[in-house]
Amino acid sequence: MSNLAQRLREIVGDAFVSFEPEELYLYSMDQGTMPPAAPDAVVMPKTTEEVAKIAQLANELKVPLVPMGGGLVLSGLTRALKGGIIVDMKRMDRIVEVNPASRYTVVEAGVTQGKLKAYLAKHHPELKHSMPDAPPAATIAGNICIHGSGHLSVLAGFHSDMLTGMEVVLPTGEIIRTGSCSVSPQWFAKAPLPDLSGLFLGWSGTTGIITRLGIRLFPNYRFNDVLVYVCEKAELMPKIISMLTSTQVAEDMTPWMVPKPEWAKGFFHINVAFGAHSKKELIFKRNLLQESVRQITDTKAAGFLPIPPVQKERFMKIPSPDLARFADARKGGGFEYVGAIMAIERFAEAYNAGIEIAEKH
Ligand SMILES: Cc1cc2nc3c(=O)[nH]c(=O)nc-3n(C[C@H](O)[C@H](O)[C@H](O)COP(=O)(O)OP(=O)(O)OC[C@H]3O[C@@H](n4cnc5c(N)ncnc54)[C@H](O)[C@@H]3O)c2cc1C
């Protein structure tokens, strides 16, 4: 271990390596319910070259590596189950480029959702990226690694679908690039070569450490609105969602059900968020959405809920303050991320299974 400690210090400097038990304890768990598992060391690299040297060293000494972003995934994926080194990416936090014409950005792997959001708001207010409802300290790379989703997913798919290129350090320490950045200076697309990004997406950091990535950006509309559609039958939800999405107007749709307050109990709500460059366009899009479900609305089996402006404002906040509040265990909340990725026609089945699990626990 002393050989490992000495060589890690030579790579990143004394201040960015820790073997201290109290610090390793903090890295042994996340906010989810999985049992703790502490690493032998934590290291915080600043450059791709440092990550490559760490990987070469770990490969030589046969020590496991666990990359970590915000450590907020909630299913314990950043625990060091076989010991080894946690590679905490938070110091690699540079926003390298924003390309407004081709609408993409290139960021280092430690850049957080909150940092990119604040940067775009300040320097490119006409652009936005798709944010999950995770706390702003979650990283863009960590979320893409687990096929995360967010506020533009109805429009553009999983966050891994919005990827335009990657720089990755392999377990051998070699550095590779995927996407257009592997053959040109631009990071605008996964094409033109065979797309190897799938070797690192959904693998939870086990096949390589992403050091830099490109993601798509989207227009940040001046005018925004949210509609809330309500029905009483879970079986109707797939049809409603399918009709609403057929307009290709909604940026985000969030189905929600709550046992309290009493008036909301037993109802299925769908928040439908959309935006526009002008008021006229916003009204046009609102009409399109309302028309798309008229067939169901006319039967009175479902309908749009009038919501006061204050509540509307709250629904449009990104990330959602309500979800974070709900997840705050210290205030009596609780949250276990189950990553339900499923076809929409299984909505009722998933809902009933969720209720069964919630009542059991
Ligand atoms: C209140 C709340 C709301 C949430 N809402 C959402 C949501 O709307 N959508 C959603 O998708 N998730 C959501 N989550 C889950 C989770 O927080 C997010 O997915 C988060 O973005 C994960 O990012 P992270 O930086 O914390 O990743 P981490 O937990 O650090 O890492 C996730 C995985 O990726 C790997 N990894 C991290 N960085 C790298 C890298 N550079 N190279 C290779 N592998 C790496 C890790 O080893 C791990 O396996 C929510 C969580 C909370 C607490």
Atom of ligand 1 at shortest range from CA of 211: 41
Instruction: Supply the pLDDT for residue 31.
Output: 79
- CA angle in degrees (0–180, nearest 5) for 128-160-77: 110
- Ligand 1 pocket, residues with Cβ under 6 angstroms: 66-74, 77-78, 89, 109, 132-135, 138-139, 141-143, 145-146, 148-150, 204-205, 209-210, 323-324, 327, 335, 337
Instruction: Supply the pLDDT for residue 2.
Output: 65
Instruction: Supply the pLDDT for residue 167.
Output: 98
Pick from 156, 243, 153, 162: nearest CA to 197: 162
| DSSP-derived secondary structure letter, 253 | E
More confident site: 43 or 257: 43
Res 338 pLDDT > 60: no
Q: Taking residues 286-303, what's their average pLDDT?
A: 97
Q: Which residues contact 354 (CB under 8 A, 6 or more apart)?
A: none
Instruction: Supply the pLDDT for residue 1.
Output: 60
β-strand pairing of 65-68 with 85-88: parallel
Mutate to test the pocket of ligand 1, among 143, 147, 201, 253 (most ligand atoms within 8 A of CB): 143
Pick from 242, 144, 126, 120: nearest CA to 200: 144
Tokens of 182: 């592997």
Distance (Å) of CA 149 to CA 74, 275, 280, 345, 356: 15, 19, 30, 19, 25
Mutate to test the pocket of ligand 1, among 82, 85, 133 (most ligand atoms within 8 A of CB): 133
Please identify which residue in the block is written with the tokens 């996407």. 179
Give the tens place of pLDDT for each residue, 17-36.
Answer: 999 999 999 999 987 778 99
Give the tens place of pLDDT for each residue, 66-125.
Answer: 999 999 988 889 999 999 999 999 999 999 999 999 999 999 999 999 999 999 999 999
Q: Taking residues 175-192, what's their average pLDDT?
A: 97
Domains assigned to the chain: 2-89 (3.30.43.10), 91-219 (3.30.465.10), 223-360 (3.30.70.380)
ipTM over 0.95: yes
Res 291 pLDDT > 70: yes
Res 271 pLDDT > 70: yes
Q: What share of the chain is helix, strand, coil (3-state, %, to 5)?
A: 35, 20, 40
Backbone angles phi, psi at 303, to 5 degrees: -170, 170
Task: Tell me the CA–centroid distance for residue 142 and ligand 1, in Å.
Answer: 5
Task: Tell me the CA–centroid distance for residue 135 and ligand 1, in Å.
Answer: 10
Atom of ligand 1 at shortest range from CA of 110: 41
Residue % of the chain over a pLDDT of 70: 95
Res 59 pLDDT > 70: yes
Model confidence at 257, pLDDT cuts 50, 70, 90, reads confident
Res 222 pLDDT > 90: yes
Give the span between the Cα atoms of 99 and 121, in whole angstroms.
Answer: 15
Tell me which residue has its CA closest to atom 50 in ligand 1. Answer: 134
Q: Taking residues 154-178, what's their average pLDDT?
A: 97
